[in-house]
Amino acid sequence: MAIFKGAGVAIVTPFKGNGDVDYEAFGRQIDIQIQNGTDAIIVCGTTGESATLTEEEHVEVIKYCVERVNHRVPVVAGTGSNCTRTAVYLSQEAEKLGADALLIVTPYYNKATQAGLIDHYTIVGNSVKIPIILYSVKSRTGLNIEPETVATLVKNVPNIVGIKEASGDISQIAKIMALTEGKVELYSGNDDQVVPIMSLGGIGVISVVSNVAPKYMHDMVYKYLNGDVQGARDMQLKVIELVGALFCETNPIPVKHAMNLMGLGAGPLRKPLSPMSEANLERLKTALKNFGLL
């Protein structure tokens, strides 16, 4: 049984002006997402600024999210690290706190070999019992998970069951599905490639756009799953301008600005992320207006 099907939100972590996590705003955002059809909450991922959360904050944010969601939808906790021991610790803590699954990004900066990746993911996988989604995003980590590596892990580590593919390489994704004989839960990690990836066997998206348009992303995925390929394609093409604006600067800079413009209270960014340039902010405002969000 899949961890989830549909559109899971890669949810932001809202901060107060003093830099603390704004749990009141976070709770409101979680509720808004669920009320608008989001199929899973992915907490402490890239969009959640996990790189600048302390380990204590990381665990506390996961704890709060699990409790607030209260089994209404699955909670997938981002617990990856460039240190295997840290990834094991965060993964075990998330499991204890009641997360339904884990999202484990490739180690960054270290530049592990593919053999090193197999060791890393095998150790993390064997340290917990809940399902794991691999997260391949070379543009952020500098390290690709090769299709052969994915196939090895899915075959040999029972609880590694899915992959969030954000490489942007459709040929690579096709090879992953071929080598795994389609026996991996495939999620798009790019909001502009949801329908193409679903055509290769994908079952959903882990979405940044869902922070501002949760119902739209849910509906687009389910149109495809229910056989309305043309309807899903039309929705995919309609959202392209918004996707471009939300990624015109490093994620989550634009999406936090968008949420603040919409009155959703995402708060400030943590350094070293900085506010948007005026030109890109105007581009974002235009895209939001054109999509009916402002």
**What are the catalytic residues?**
135, 164
Residues 6+ apart with CB under 8 A from 210: 7, 8, 9, 10, 33, 38, 217, 218
Other C-beta atoms closer than 10 Å to the C-beta of 120 total 23
Polymer length in residues for the chain = 294
Cβ atoms of 200 and 148 within 8 Å: the answer is: no
Which two three-digit tokens encode residue 71? 């089994």
**Cα–Cα distance measured from residue 107 to residue 123, given in angstroms and rounded to the nearest whole number:** 13
**Cα–Cα distance measured from residue 136 to residue 150, given in angstroms and rounded to the nearest whole number:** 10
Cβ atoms of 2 and 201 within 8 Å: the answer is: no
Of the candidates 158, 155, 77, 149, the residue with the CA atom closest to the CA atom of residue 120: 149
Q: Write the DSSP string, 190-236.
A: -TTSHHHHHTTT--EEEESGGGT-HHHHHHHHHHHHTT-HHHHHHHH
Tell me which H or E stretch contains 135: strand 132-136
**Cα–Cα distance measured from residue 85 to residue 219, given in angstroms and rounded to the nearest whole number:** 39
Task: Enumerate the β-bridge partners of residue 40.
Answer: 8
Cβ atoms of 120 and 107 within 8 Å: the answer is: yes
**Cα–Cα distance measured from residue 149 to residue 167, given in angstroms and rounded to the nearest whole number:** 14
